[in-house]
Amino acid sequence: MSRHIPRTGVRRYVNVVNLGGLLIAGCATLPLVWMASASFKGPGEISATPPSLLPEDPTLGNYETAFVRNGIGHYFLNSVVVACVSTVLILSLAFFAGYALARLPLRGRGAVMTALLMLSVFPPIALLVPLFLMERQAGLLNSYPGLIVPYVALNLPFAIWIMRNYLSGIPGELEEAAVVDGAGPLRTAVTVILPLARPGLFTAGVFAFTATWSEFLLALTFNGSDDRRTVSVGIALFTSQYQVPYGVIFAGAMVATVPIAVLVLVFRRSVVSGMTTGAVKG
Amino acid sequence: MSSALPTRTSKTPAEGGDGRARTGAPPPGSARPGSVARRRARAGWFFASPALLVVAAVTVFPVLFSLVLSFCEVRLDYGGLRLGSPTLGHYEALLTHPEWYRALAFTLGFTVVSVFAELVLGTLVALVLERLGAARGWILALLLLPWALINVIAAQLWSYLFNGTYGAVGWLCEQLFGTQPDILGEPVPAMAAMVVVDVWKTTPFVAIVVLAGLMLIPGDVYEAAEIDGAGPWTTFWKVTLPQLRPIVAIAVLFRILQAFGIFDLPFVLTQGGPGTATQSVAILGYRILFQNLDFGGGAAVAVTTAVIVMGCCLLFLRVFRAHVDEEGRA
């Protein structure tokens, strides 16, 4: 008689959908929890079997090694410089290009947009040889501009797509009012459109920063020398003589992941809208 | 070709018309709107050209440069790059090299298997997320973390989990099946491991895109299916999936191109090994370039990769457009 009511009570929480949700959340985060936990494990515990989920004797030794001996702080600063400068340049160029493509009577807009879409997923390996030789000739290898220039160019197409899609959704009346008031295109863009474009800039900015922060192939080939390495190259090349120093690698990885994780979680709406309403790119 | 991207370009005609109405058709007798239109058109190119020039300088020009390099004798000495006489030697060497075919086969296989798995799992995840209540926002946020993780870190993390002596995955296999496989030491398990890592990292992206597609399906379509007596299974195959096709197709195209260029994952996780089992085209190109210092050969890899990628792109867009047309007529 009373069986019906408690069962619906339980059914409300324990059902296929909620279990599925739990499983999804677990699969997504368990490896990350494992990494975070391993970064606090000592050298013995990290290679123990059976593996332990949480460190029994938490230590900051790996972090100390990562900073003092492996110079992760230095790689981190290199990444900050490269990613920040690239993102600012990408956003300023993409804003004007996106505005032009969304709002101004450009001939050949369709062709430009299709070309940009193709270029935004062009595999970098196809550009590696010529870019390497060009940078070598220009003396840009192992310098900040040596990475910033290709990063800006390779991430611009997608940023332009996002800006263009966002800006074409802004109602035209404000812009028309500015034109009637005699404002030129530049003043209209900066004083009227720019303040409205903020959500689009956030989306484009998060994607640009994440992409430049994570990039590996060009960073490895162009800035291989120790003083200009970015975090991704630094972490890939962390090795010691006898075995892979996973504890130190994960300590470095945690340091490199925190800024991106915070950025993505704070701007998660922007990220999701970039994935879906901008051109779709992973 | 632009019309092959229905979700994007469907906006363009409306805007184009909008722009013309505003600028191109001045009221008779007034000269001012015409000059404004011209000014705006000039401003358009003025605004767009810095970005487009930067993109062209770093993408279009290098591709052309690659093309030249791949057909020339190339020597690198202290004076810089020397181009010699024209030759087909780089392509001949590449096309007769079994390693290139192996790399191509591995890359294609990896691309097909991982994108397919991501599509299936991503759709399942999206269907769960769609039905979730308050927890959806939280789970979406958690899903963004693997997606945003630096590839190199994901590879290091999983190389630890797959480690032959103390990896958690090996330990789990031992508990479940009684044997501990050397996952990264055998060709087929190593390939499977790469797929697992890629699926772990990119399924969230596919799921979020599919979820967005699910949200776009109007409710009355489902109501109509219900009135027609369709069960949940039939509804999924006959209603949900066809409606998802346009948005998913573009996402799949991007995933294919990205998976085809894979470099970070094999570089760190397997170093292309064991042997050359997980050597992707990008890894092969990198090796030809920086281990053999063969710039002509590297350029040949670059050009062939670009041709294959562009070919796949055009083919995919054509096939996809054909589907849309069928749908439109039906």
B240 touches chain A (CB under 8 A): no
Q: How many angstroms separate the CA of residue B222 from the nearest CA in chain A?
A: 19
- The residue-averaged pLDDT of A187-200 equals 90
Q: Among partner residues A97, A256, A276, which is closest to B51 by beta-carbon distance?
A: A97
Contact residues on chain B for A186, CB-CB shorter than 8 A: 43
According to the model, what pLDDT value does residue B328 have? 35
According to the model, what pLDDT value does residue B19 have? 39
Q: Among partner residues A123, A231, A276, which is closest to B212 by beta-carbon distance?
A: A276
Query: Tokens standing for A68?
Result: 């003092």
According to the model, what pLDDT value does residue B20 have? 39
| A64-276 fold | MetI-like fold (1.10.3720)
Residues sharing a CB contact under 8 Å with residue A239, sequence separation 6 or more, in sequence order: A245
Residue B86, SS3 per DSSP? strand
pLDDT confidence tier of residue A5, bands split at 50, 70 and 90: very low
What ipTM, to 2 d.p.? 0.89
* Nearest to A93, CA basis, from A150, A175, A153: A153
Q: How many angstroms separate the CA of residue A1 from the nearest CA in chain B?
A: 30
Q: Domain extents for chain A?
A: 4-60, 64-276
Tell me which amino acid residue A258 is. Answer: V
Q: Distance (Å, rounded) from C-alpha A98 to C-alpha A113?
A: 10
CB contact under 8 A, A24 and B129: yes
Q: Among partner residues A104, A107, A260, which is closest to B148 by beta-carbon distance?
A: A260
Q: Distance (Å, rounded) from C-alpha A277 to C-alpha B190?
A: 36
Contact residues on chain B for A261, CB-CB shorter than 8 A: 145, 148
pLDDT confidence tier of residue B55, bands split at 50, 70 and 90: very high
Q: How many angstroms separate the CA of residue B310 from the nearest CA in chain A?
A: 8
> Residues of B numbered 305-324 whose beta carbons fall under 8 angstroms of chain A's beta carbons: which are they?
305-306, 309-310, 313
According to the model, what pLDDT value does residue A9 have? 63
Query: Tokens standing for B274?
Result: 């064991």
Strands (E), chain A: none
- For B58-83, what is each residue's pLDDT tens digit? 988 888 888 888 898 877 776 667 77
Least confident of A104-108, B121-125, B316-320: B316-320
- The residue-averaged pLDDT of A221-228 equals 88
> Residues of B numbered 173-212 whose beta carbons fall under 8 angstroms of chain A's beta carbons: which are they?
200, 202, 204-206, 208-209, 212
Please give the mean pLDDT across all residues of chain A: 86
Tell me which amino acid residue B297 is. Answer: G
Contact residues on chain A for B37, CB-CB shorter than 8 A: 105
CB contact under 8 A, B44 and A106: yes
- The residue-averaged pLDDT of A135-139 equals 88
According to the model, what pLDDT value does residue B24 have? 41
Q: Among partner residues A21, A119, A244, which is closest to B59 by beta-carbon distance?
A: A119
Q: What are phi and psi of A190, to 5 degrees?
A: -80, -45
Q: Residue A215: left (phi > 0), alpha (psi -120 to 50), or beta?
A: beta
- For B246-262, what is each residue's pLDDT tens digit? 778 878 888 888 899 89
Which of B59, B171, B173 is the best mutation test for A, with the most CBs of A within 10 A? Answer: B59
According to the model, what pLDDT value does residue B33 have? 56
* Architecture per CATH, B91-329: Orthogonal Bundle (1.10)
Query: Tokens standing for B200?
Result: 């772990």
When comparing pLDDT for A225 and B330, which is higher? A225
Assess whether pLDDT exceeds 50 at residue B17. no
Assess whether pLDDT exceeds 90 at residue A148. yes
Q: Domain extents for chain B?
A: 29-61, 91-329
CB contact under 8 A, A110 and B286: no
According to the model, what pLDDT value does residue A10 have? 65
